[in-house]
Amino acid sequence: MTDTEKPKRHIDLLAPEQERLRSARPGDRLVRLRRPKIAGVRRLEDGVYEVISDTPRGGAVSQALYRLRRTLLGAPIRSEHEAHERLSKKIGLPAFGSDNISSSAYASEELMRVLLLAGVGALSLTLPLTVAVVVLAAIVVTSYQQTIRAYPKGGGSYVVSSDNLGTVPGLIAGASILVDYILTVAVSASAGVAAMTSAFPALYDERALIAVGAVALIAWMNLRGIRESGAIFAAPVYLYVVFLFGLIAYGVYRYVMEGQPPAYVPLPMDEAHAHHVGSQALTAFLILRAFASGAVGLTGTEAIADGVGAFKAPEARNARVTLIMMAAIFGTIFIGVSFLASWIGIVPDPREIETVNSQLTRALIGTGWLYYTIQFTTALLLILAANTGFADFPRLASFMSRDKFLPTHFASRGGRLAFSNGIIVLAVVASILIIIFQGSVTALIPLYTVGVFVAFTLSQSGLVVRWWRLREPGWQWRMSINAVGATVTAVVAIVVGVTKFALGAWVVLVLLPFLVVLLLGIRRHYHDVADQVTVDPNERDEHPDTVARAFAHYLLIPVKELDRTALRAISYARSLTGQVTQGGTQGGAQGGGATAQSSHVVIQAVHVTDDADTAHALQEKWERYNPGVELVVVESPYRAFVGPLLRYIDAVERRHSERTAVVTVLVPEFIPAHWWENFLHTHTALQLKGALLFRPRVAVTSVPYHLEA
């Protein structure tokens, strides 16, 4: 642990260092080596170096790619600066809360739309059901307060369920939430674009493309790092909150002062839609279904608990305060809208052209510039709700990847400390969903809620088990809170599952078991690999001292001609294996002279040909020049190259019985000066490598030979 504590000078000298490299002379190498900053590498102690530059050293192309990347994503950030990239409450609220807060823009309407099936009179249940949903949200939020306290490093349903209920419940919760975040992105982008296209119908045909573009934009911002994207996307969230609070305050003021609701003309209703209204009886099932529809507002509640690690210290405290702020904002707007809509007597537009929030705004303040500003801000917020998916999905995927349930790619942070692979995968999958569903919110939304409530239930139940197990002071009331939460969310999960099953919830319910099996399979693979490669430090069977002595090496060098490429490869092989002539004799008489030949390394040049004449000529040339290694001719009567060489390798491998024959094929590789010159060379080296890739105990070495222009 001493390494982390040791103070490190952070020398950010990229530009001046480049300058110095450019002015370097070949002569001053040794002098420059003493200097610590040479070539962007600094020696910290014996055997420990630090790379202090991230600029590539390569040619024009890689330099240009590097500059492009830097322009798009910004300068890379050092790992130890991770704490600087954390979020304050001010930025954490919009980053993780935009999903939840944005649902206040449509939760009232979703609820009212179901009630309307039992007639306009049933809308009187809007406010009571809204209060019920907000109470549910309060219960869930209270539970999450405890979750964050218990899991200060980030405790979404996945972590809590895995920890307390076991692997499979944890995976069910994790898979549900991952699916939910993907849907968050697809639904938010689609909903936001739908709001835009209702203002500009000309864009309607391109809505899927615009939604994908919005997803790409948000993904790009997130690749620049969570702090930067959080800051950029904060404004619309706060703007929405200010506008809606103002609107509700104004509405309540008029309710108190005037008593009389403003004049409201319900939207025209055509035949096609009118007969839906009042078509059903106000059964308990319908009321439950309305409640379930309103409960869509709870999606995104999980986000902050998952993202605790992204907050500035003290992480847990900041996260908990942010969570309460988020819930308060959501609850206020939700109840405010439902209350005012009920007071004014607003009826949802059965044609689904104008939203309830729009009608409410219009009824209260008319259709002036403020109305349009509020509508536009709402549309922007709906798109930005996707940002919560981007803030949390990669983080959750990294947790699951660290536990080996997802590919390791998800656990690595990019140049800007973002979980880049998770961001890219999320953007791609959500875009595919948008394209498949052609940006239709109605088609996507039924898939949306059920997974969240399954995860809530598991997470609450996990905490119940935890409190019971630990019996810390005050465990009784903690357990009671979570038990209530678990029960309520379980009921909602069942209600949502049943009421929305046919509309699409079945997709998620069918998908989840598949995902769980897949995740388990991935972990099994990693465990299998680990079992195979892990070394017991007390066993010496695999120790190089033991193993190295059992190897007999064959270095095979495929040659076409006795040319520089072949000689380069032979020199490489001979010097590497210590088969160099001793002393200064240069003659190199037939038979190798004073070559220090190790008996367990055999170097052979292999000439594969169908032409015995040229082979014979090469043999004679070889004997005269004597490059110090044996030439083997493999006649290939069918003119193939790779196949016969493989056959010869077979024969070599079978020659040994005491030692393990290890064949290394040394491929002299032609690197032309220009890419198009590649068309002029047969890429036997590449073919050979492809063919040898799947053979155990055959290594392939590429010895590059760079052609000049």
User: Distance between CA atoms of 585 and 661, rounded to whole angstroms?
Assistant: 32
How many other β-carbons are positioned within 10 Å of the β-carbon of residue 35? 10
Per CB under 8 A, does 369 bind a second copy?
no
- Residue 352 zone, left/alpha/beta (φ > 0; ψ -120 to 50; rest): left
Closer Cβ to a second copy, 85 or 352, answer by number:
85
Write the interaction track for a second copy spanning residues 456-485; mark x where CB under 8 A is met and - where it is not: ------------------------------
Q: Of the candidates 367, 476, 575, 687, which one interacts with a second copy according to CB under 8 A?
A: 575
Per CB under 8 A, does 41 bind a second copy?
yes
Q: Of the candidates 16, 49, 128, 249, which one interacts with a second copy according to CB under 8 A?
A: 49
User: Distance between CA atoms of 211 and 383, rounded to whole angstroms?
Assistant: 9
Per CB under 8 A, does 34 bind a second copy?
no
Query: Which distant-in-sequence residues (6+ apart) come within 8 Å of 120 by Cβ?
Result: 277, 278, 347
Per CB under 8 A, does 623 bind a second copy?
no
Pick the closest to residue 430 from 118, 216, 201, 224 (CA basis): 216
Pick the closest to residue 374 from 362, 392, 385 (CA basis): 362
Query: Which distant-in-sequence residues (6+ apart) come within 8 Å of 528 by Cβ?
Result: none
Cβ 490 to a second copy shortest distance, Å: 35
Q: Write out the binding residues for a second copy, residues 664-693 only, by CB under 8 A.
A: 664, 669-671, 677, 679-682, 689, 691, 693
Q: Write out the binding residues for a second copy, residues 408-437 only, by CB under 8 A.
A: 408-409, 412-415
Cβ 661 to a second copy shortest distance, Å: 11
Q: Of the candidates 13, 19, 29, 469, which one interacts with a second copy according to CB under 8 A?
A: 29
Write the interaction track for a second copy spanning residues 80-119; mark x where CB under 8 A is met and - where it is not: x---------------------------------------
Q: Of the candidates 67, 276, 402, 616, which one interacts with a second copy according to CB under 8 A?
A: 616
Per CB under 8 A, does 565 bind a second copy?
yes
Per CB under 8 A, does 261 bind a second copy?
no
- Given the rule CB under 8 A, which of 51-59, 219-227, 255-263, 501-509 is the region that contacts a second copy? 51-59
Q: Write out the binding residues for a second copy, residues 521-550 only, by CB under 8 A.
A: 522, 525-526, 528-529, 532-535, 537, 540, 542-549
Cβ 619 to a second copy shortest distance, Å: 8
Q: Of the candidates 427, 631, 663, 688, which one interacts with a second copy according to CB under 8 A?
A: 631
How many other β-carbons are positioned within 10 Å of the β-carbon of residue 365? 16
Per CB under 8 A, does 648 bind a second copy?
yes
Question: Do 11 and 34 form a contact (C-beta atoms < 8 A)?
Answer: no
Q: Write out the binding residues for a second copy, residues 200-239 only, by CB under 8 A.
A: none
Q: Scanning the structure block, which residue is given the tokens 């706060």?
A: 238
Q: Of the candidates 577, 602, 618, 688, which one interacts with a second copy according to CB under 8 A?
A: 577
Per CB under 8 A, does 504 bind a second copy?
no
H or E element in which residue 553 lies: strand 551-558
Per CB under 8 A, does 71 bind a second copy?
no
Per CB under 8 A, does 591 bind a second copy?
no
Query: Which distant-in-sequence residues (6+ apart) come within 8 Å of 63 by Cβ?
Result: 55, 56
* CB-count burial class (<10 Å; 0-12, 13-18, 19+) for 572: middle
Pick the closest to residue 102 from 221, 191, 218 (CA basis): 191
Cβ 700 to a second copy shortest distance, Å: 5
Per CB under 8 A, does 70 bind a second copy?
no
Per CB under 8 A, does 56 bind a second copy?
yes
User: Distance between CA atoms of 323 and 321, rounded to whole angstroms?
Assistant: 5
Q: Of the candidates 53, 104, 318, 489, which one interacts with a second copy according to CB under 8 A?
A: 53
Question: Do 489 and 456 form a contact (C-beta atoms < 8 A)?
Answer: yes
Per CB under 8 A, does 698 bind a second copy?
yes
Q: What are phi and psi of 70, to 5 degrees?
A: -65, -40
Question: Do 75 and 101 form a contact (C-beta atoms < 8 A)?
Answer: no
Question: Do 341 and 356 form a contact (C-beta atoms < 8 A)?
Answer: yes
Per CB under 8 A, does 67 bind a second copy?
no
List, in sequence order, every beta strand (DSSP E) within 141-183: none
Alpha helix positions (H), 626-703: 642-653, 684-692
Q: Which two tokens stand for residue 243?
A: 């506008």
Per CB under 8 A, does 40 bind a second copy?
yes
Closer Cβ to a second copy, 47 or 368, answer by number:
47
Per CB under 8 A, does 321 bind a second copy?
no
Closer Cβ to a second copy, 472 or 528, answer by number:
528
Cβ 512 to a second copy shortest distance, Å: 21
Q: What distances in angstroms separate CA 479 from CA 145, 324, 415, 466, 605, one per listed residue?
A: 13, 20, 42, 8, 76
Q: Scanning the structure block, which residue is given the tokens 């809620």?
A: 449
Pick the closest to residue 183 from 385, 376, 413 (CA basis): 385
Closer Cβ to a second copy, 241 or 631, answer by number:
631
Question: What amino acid is encoded at 83 in this protein?
Answer: A
Residues near a second copy (CB under 8 A), total: 145
Q: Write out the binding residues for a second copy, residues 390-409 only, by CB under 8 A.
A: 407-409
Per CB under 8 A, does 632 bind a second copy?
yes
Cβ 632 to a second copy shortest distance, Å: 5
User: Distance between CA atoms of 670 and 702, rounded to whole angstroms?
Assistant: 10
User: Distance between CA atoms of 403 and 401, rounded to whole angstroms?
Assistant: 5
Per CB under 8 A, does 586 bind a second copy?
yes
Per CB under 8 A, does 78 bind a second copy?
yes
